[in-house]
Each structure stands twice: as C-alpha cells, then as structure tokens.
C-alpha cells in the first residue's frame, strides 16, 4: 500500500497540489488505484493506478461505482465497446464481444492490444521524461502512408498549411510514430497533430515524446471523464487536444466539458466510413451559437475535395479544415492546397 502512494506521488501531472486521498481496491482486495483530489478542480479528479500501469479516470470510477466501463460509456451513447480494458467482475465476457460490430470497434480493439504492447516496451516514466520538450498550437493537415511523410510535410508547409496532421495508427492507416518523429526532426515549423485513436493517457505522453503538439480525442470512443482527464494531461504537458465529434449527441456531450478549445467535426462516420459533406453545417446550424459564445474553434474534417466543399464549411463558420485524401492523391499535394482554396495560401 505504501509503495502505491509513493508511485502516485511520483506522477503528479494534474497539479503539484495533488494528494492521494483513498486507495481503491479490486474485488480481490488488491490495490488498483489511488484517488487524488486536485485542489483547484471543482470536483475531485480521480486518476492513477498502480501495478501494471496507469488506468484512465473512467476505469477508476468503474471500480468505485461498481459499473462496467462499457455500461458507463453506453449510458453516454457511446456504441464502441471496450474489450481488453480491465473489467469489472460484474461484466462477463459475452459471446457477442467476439466479433466487432463496426469498423471503429475493430480499430479500437486492435488499438487496445497495440497500446498494451507499447506500454510494456516503454514504461510511462521514461516516456514522460522525454515528453516535456516542446510547445505548440492546434493543428490540421494530413499525411498519407504511401508518400514520403517528410517530403509531403514540407510541401504542405511551403504551400501554406497551418499545421500538419500525421496519422500514427499502423494497422488501419499505415501510419507510424516513426513518421511523426521524422517529420518533427526534419525542420518543419508547423505544429504537428498526432492522429490516432487515443484510448489511454500513455499514448498522449508517447505522442509528445515523438514531437506532437496536439492529439486527437474522439468522443465516439472516450467517455466524458476520460476526455476531461486527458484534457488536463494535455494542458499539463503543453499540448492541445482536438476533440472530435460526428453527431449531435457527441457534440452535446463535448459542449458540456470545460476546457475544450478545439472541436473537430468529422464529416465521416468512423463506424461506417461514410461521408456526409453537410454534417459540419448541420451541426453548426444547431449549435453554432453556443460554440461561438464559448469561443471554441471548429475544424471541419474529412471528405473535402473541391473549393466549393471548403467554401461551404467556411460559410458555416469553421476556422479550419482538415484535408487528407484530396491532397495526397494528387500528383503535387502541395499545389493541391491552392487548388482546394481557390487561391494561393503562401504569404
């Protein structure tokens, strides 16, 4: 028990005034987590776990409340079920969980395995040490796996991209953290967004250590408490979070979370990968007022192929667009930026 508390003290990213107030135990009585109260938070923030590594806030809540992670997520309308996460004893391994229900669920199940393996290879302490390096601002852009990431990043930057998005998911997008690191080390000045499926704070520290300035947090995957916790982690290491939504329910949830500055509206459903170019405008028509009042910035993501597409979402009030496919599939992806905006962006 004592060593658990020391471990918690050795990892105080939320606030220097954090102090452990309770030790949470699992059904077998083993120490699972330390609950910390953060002095400047409105409510106590739960975090940290012992043993194999760290748990996310939602998992700690799970042990406290007796509810399964999937039950908590489902109550928030999240349809993606988690598979490998430490389960509450009340949650059996149902036969229905043998087969993913859609593309996003498949990606997340693969991500759980990948993160567990990566975590074992690079323990948090080491990642965090190398994580306290750079600062940046919000980002956009995209890099496709079949092109030289460094070359294309420079082409984007030369042609006026405000930021660069680098996919790091290997299995489903053929991206990599090596790509991210190579671009960072190649001398680009643009901020870099690590584009991945974050399910664990470990990934945020890891992205930072590889040179990312921002990470994507997907509301279709992360329950509210995880988003809140991850936003605090981002702030504590000088990173920006782009919080992505696809539908009204997700946007409603995200608008209630303090500290979200950057919302991405994905025109593509990650469950089906279908694109509805009108999605950004539809959501902004309904919620634009509150977004403006809260001074949040909106990025329209995916499926933008023509200057008309871009003008359409710009009229809806977005401050940025995130474009991948329509640039990387053209012979000169850098010049394709000018084509998409109907003008040269180079100053």
Ligand X SMILES: O=P(O)(O)OC[C@@H](O)[C@@H](O)c1c[nH]c2ccccc12
Residue 165: strand pairing partners: 193
Measured from the CB atom, the residue of 22 and 174 that comes closer to ligand X is 174
Q: Which of residues 115-134 bind ligand X (CB under 6 A)?
A: none
Q: How many helices and strands in the chain, by DSSP H and E? A: 14, 10
The three-class DSSP label of residue 214 is strand
Using the rule CB under 6 A, is 303 a contact of ligand X? yes
Contact pattern from residue 203 through residue 222 relative to ligand X, giving x for each residue in contact according to CB under 6 A and a dash for the rest: -------------x------
59, 105, 213, 244: which one contacts ligand X (CB under 6 A)? 244
| Nearest distance in Å: CB 60, ligand X | 26
| Nearest distance in Å: CB 28, ligand X | 37
Cβ-count burial 54-80 (b if 16+ within 10 Å, e if not): bbbbbbbbbbeeebbbbebbeeeebeb
Using the rule CB under 6 A, is 323 a contact of ligand X? yes
| Nearest distance in Å: CB 20, ligand X | 35
| Nearest distance in Å: CB 105, ligand X | 14
Using the rule CB under 6 A, is 324 a contact of ligand X? yes
Using the rule CB under 6 A, is 142 a contact of ligand X? yes
Using the rule CB under 6 A, is 301 a contact of ligand X? yes
Contacts of 91 (CB under 8 A, 6+ apart): 68, 69, 70, 71
Q: What are the Cα distances from residue 214, in Å, to 76, 162, 184, 237, 240?
A: 25, 13, 13, 10, 4
Site for ligand X, rule CB under 6 A: 142, 195, 216, 244, 266, 301-304, 322-326
């Amino acid at each position: 028990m004592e060593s658990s508390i020391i471990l918690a003290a050795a990892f105080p990213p939320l606030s220097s005034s954090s102090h452990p107030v309770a030790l949470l135990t699992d059904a077998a009585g083993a120490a699972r987590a330390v609950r910390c109260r953060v002095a400047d938070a409105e409510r106590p923030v739960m975090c940290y776990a012992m043993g194999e590594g760290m748990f996310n806030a939602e998992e700690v809540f799970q042990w406290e409340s007796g509810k399964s992670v999937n039950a908590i997520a489902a109550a928030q309308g999240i349809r993606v079920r988690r598979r490998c996460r430490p389960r509450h004893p009340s949650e059996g391994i149902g036969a229905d969980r043998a087969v993913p229900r859609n593309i996003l669920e498949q990606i997340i199940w693969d991500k759980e395995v990948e993160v567990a393996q990566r975590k074992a290879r690079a323990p948090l302490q080491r990642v965090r040490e190398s994580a306290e390096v750079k600062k940046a601002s919000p980002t956009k852009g995209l890099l496709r796996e079949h092109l030289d990431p460094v070359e294309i990043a420079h082409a984007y930057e030369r042609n006026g991209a405000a930021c660069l998005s680098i996919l790091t998911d290997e299995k489903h997008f053929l991206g990599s953290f090596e790509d991210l690191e190579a671009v960072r080390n190649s001398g680009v000045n643009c901020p870099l967004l690590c584009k991945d499926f974050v399910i664990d704070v470990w990934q945020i520290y890891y992205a930072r250590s590889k040179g990312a300035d921002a990470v994507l947090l997907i509301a279709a995957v992360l329950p509210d408490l995880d988003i809140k916790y991850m936003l605090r982690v981002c702030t504590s290491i000088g990173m920006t979070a782009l919080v992505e939504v696809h539908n009204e329910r997700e946007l409603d949830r995200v608008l209630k979370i303090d500290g979200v500055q950057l919302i991405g509206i994905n025109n593509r459903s990650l469950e089906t990968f279908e694109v509805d170019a009108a999605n950004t405008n539809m959501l902004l028509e309904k919620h634009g007022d509150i977004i403006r009042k809260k001074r949040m910035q909106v990025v329209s993501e995916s499926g933008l192929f023509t200057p008309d597409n871009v003008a359409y979402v710009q009229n809806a009030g977005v401050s940025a667009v995130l474009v991948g496919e329509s640039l990387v599939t053209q012979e000169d992806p850098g010049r394709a930026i000018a084509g998409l905006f109907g003008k040269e962006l180079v100053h």
